[in-house]
Amino acid sequence: MDIAAVILDAVILDMDGLMLDTEPIYWRAWQKAGTELGFHIDDAFYVTLIGKTNAFAKTALRERFGERFPLADFEKRWEGLWREEVEQRGIPVKPGLAELMAYLAERRIPIAVATSTVSQYAIFSLQAAGLDPGAFAHLVTGEQVQRSKPAPDIYLEAARRLEVEPHRTMAIKDSDAGVLSASSARMRCVMVLDLKPPSDAALAAAFRVFGSLGEVLAMLRTSDLR
């Protein structure tokens, strides 16, 4: 029997930056919306928001720009810019995702998605990328748990819904917050690098660090899971 099927009861995937190449779209929308409203959202600040919930981002924006920052106007504008680009161009899927999902499906290893994005955007994003949300055993989103990453809540909730033990689950993540969150949940966490360089803490917490989903699949095929 395949060792992956013996050791792994389930896999939990992140969405933005891991499955879907959405981060550059969010990045452009946030910076353009900020500029239009008279606020400069620089690259270094935006990077600190990757992998975090909208609630966290709102608090960070207020802390950075003060009470004069027009949160409601900003949110309405960036959402409009983001949706406009997605409707025109769609969302690219990360290389290797289809092959990874097929491999797991062949071995009857269920896949859940755990994302800080709220439900409506998660579903819209998956569909815009040509993916059926129903293809995943569960979709756990940021507003469905009390604490955001790096707290372990979203991964513990995903494991609960999957009815699996966290330590027999692999989480595949691209952000520091996701890696620290999954590791806190006692999951075997694989980090796939995206736009933000990993922190020392994330590198130390990760079970493996790869440059692509294809490398993750190669690891699974060789059963290098111990």
**Among candidate residues 89, 112, 128, the one where a domain is terminated:** 89
**pLDDT for the residue numbered 2:** 54
Q: Say whether both 129 and 211 belong to one domain.
A: yes
Cis before 166? omega within 30: no
Q: Say whether both 108 and 75 belong to one domain.
A: no
Q: What is the pLDDT along the chain (226 residues), one digit of tens a residue?
A: 454 555 789 999 999 999 999 989 999 999 999 999 999 999 999 988 887 777 889 999 999 999 999 999 999 999 999 999 999 999 999 999 999 999 999 999 999 999 988 899 899 999 999 999 999 999 999 899 988 888 999 999 999 999 999 999 999 999 898 999 999 999 999 999 988 889 999 999 999 999 999 999 999 988 755 5
- Residue 226 domain flag: no
**By CB neighbour count within 10 A (0-12 exposed, 13-18 middle, 19+ buried), where does 71 fall?**
middle
Helix 153-162 crosses helix 176-184 at what angle (to 10 degrees)? 60
Taking the C-alpha atoms of residue 157 and residue 152, their distance in angstroms, rounded to an integer, is 9
Q: Say whether both 196 and 138 belong to one domain.
A: yes
* Secondary structure percentages of the chain, helix, strand, coil, to 5: 50, 15, 35
Domain residue limits at 58: 23-89
- Candidates 184, 226, 175; CA nearest to 202 is 175
Q: How many domains does the chain have?
A: 2
**pLDDT for the residue numbered 3:** 47
Taking the C-alpha atoms of residue 48 and residue 87, their distance in angstroms, rounded to an integer, is 27
Locate 183 and state its tokens: 């590791």
Q: Say whether both 162 and 123 belong to one domain.
A: yes
**pLDDT for the residue numbered 211:** 96
Taking the C-alpha atoms of residue 206 and residue 183, their distance in angstroms, rounded to an integer, is 7
**pLDDT for the residue numbered 1:** 40
Which residues neighbour 55 within 8 Å (Cβ) at sequence distance 6 or greater?
Answer: 142, 148
